[in-house]
Amino acid sequence: MNIKNKAATFFAILILLLIAFIFYWGTTKPIDVIIQAGHEGRTTGNTGAESKLYREEKWNIIVANEVAKLLQSWQIDVKRVPADIKFMRAKIAISIHFDGARIPCASGASIGYPSKNSHDFAQRWKSLYKAYFPYKWHKDNFTPNLKNYYAYQWIKADKFLLLELGEITCDTQTKWLKPRLKKIAHLIAYSIATELGEKVKKPSL
């Protein structure tokens, strides 16, 4: 190898390292808020709850998009992600879900979270949504899926909440929920902004 080739190889490696570094830095840079629509993009495995009329994934996307849109409109740094994710860091991560039950209307709303850090935020969300959602509530982390949600490992967040916003297999609840999806999204966005110390107006419900 002559000197010219050696120099070219050296610079090529340098550029590759630089690209790898920029990529790494970009993927691990902490974001203020990550909003995940549960099951979004899944075709196999856990594709989410469904009833004759509705699919959870669709509703998750509607709510997650609206939450992200509102946060952006308040100049909050937000990233919208589907079910499959890579390693990320954030101050707050929220995963949006609706529950399904084998016996219709046996379920309702609940919250999952991975650590004590998230506990107080979870209680603040519960008191907001409890004043609005008029159906059943489970205790926090009532299933292993809520307690050990896979995304807790992928998104390292100071506070991570998995929100089950109601039961999609219960007619009474879907009748109430469907016209209120954007209102609920507004309540979630308000709760996140407040948690970040931003002053935004509480939505009228």
The binding site for Zn ion (CB under 5 A) comprises 38, 48, 97
CA distances from 149 to 107, 113, 145, 200 (A): 18, 8, 5, 30
CB of 137 to Zn ion, least distance (A): 17
CA distance 158 to 162: 14
Q: Which is nearer to Zn ion, 38 or 166 (CB)?
A: 38
Identify whether the C-beta of residue 78 lies closer than 8 Å to the C-beta of residue 107. Answer: no
- Residue 119: other Cβ atoms inside 10 A: 15
Q: Which is nearer to Zn ion, 121 or 149 (CB)?
A: 149
CB of 193 to Zn ion, least distance (A): 24
CA distance 116 to 103: 32
CB of 104 to Zn ion, least distance (A): 16
CB of 134 to Zn ion, least distance (A): 21
Across the beta sheet with 31-37, the strand order is 78-81, 31-37, 88-99, 155-167, 109-112
Q: Which is nearer to Zn ion, 38 or 193 (CB)?
A: 38
Q: Which is nearer to Zn ion, 47 or 194 (CB)?
A: 47
CB of 12 to Zn ion, least distance (A): 46
Identify whether the C-beta of residue 25 lies closer than 8 Å to the C-beta of residue 88. Answer: no
CA distance 83 to 145: 14
Q: Which is nearer to Zn ion, 48 or 166 (CB)?
A: 48
Residue nearest to Zn ion (CB): 97
